[in-house]
Amino acid sequence: MKEKHLAIRIQQCLSLATASNCPRAKFGALLVDPIRNVILMDGYNGGPRGGGKLCGGEECLRDTNEIKSGTRVEIGCHHAEMNLICNSAANGVPTNGAWLIVTGEPCMMCSKLIHHAGIARVVVVDGGFGGANGCGYLENHGVEIQRTTGPKDPRGSNL
């Protein structure tokens, strides 16, 4: 994928992150075909489908339970990468060999999904996940990691 096209996709991914209702952090993810330069699927972090605005319906379970950022990733919003991979599976969109652009380093849980979905490269944009991340796991399992500061992140410093 040409650098100028990747820069455009990064901008789209950052813009997508603003769709999240999460009061703590907003993440976006795009699945792209690097050869044809087309978006295959997108995702952002948020509450479960049909389950309300936030992870606890109308409340943030992480705030309610005073859970520190970067810990207990099983509690809270569905992550952008998780939504993207599940939406791909539900709609018959192949992930094998695709690239994932994401607005922060994937957690270990999402990294396992990324690896098993056959995603070939993860482009991590500006900043990262608050806890131990799964980039090392991905690299150890043959998934290329490309870090970029990309265009400046419009989400601010609420990460």
Q: Catalytic: which of 81, 105, 139, 144?
A: 81
What is the DSSP-derived secondary structure letter of residue 106? P
Residue 149's identity, in one-letter code, is T
Question: Could you confirm whether 144 is annotated as catalytic?
Answer: no
Neighbours of 79 (CB within 10 A): 26
From the number of C-beta atoms within 10 Å of its C-beta (0-12, 13-18, 19+), residue 96 rates as exposed
**Among the listed residues 72, 30, 28, 32, the one whose alpha carbon sits nearest the alpha carbon of residue 46:** 28
Which residues are known to be catalytic? Answer: 81
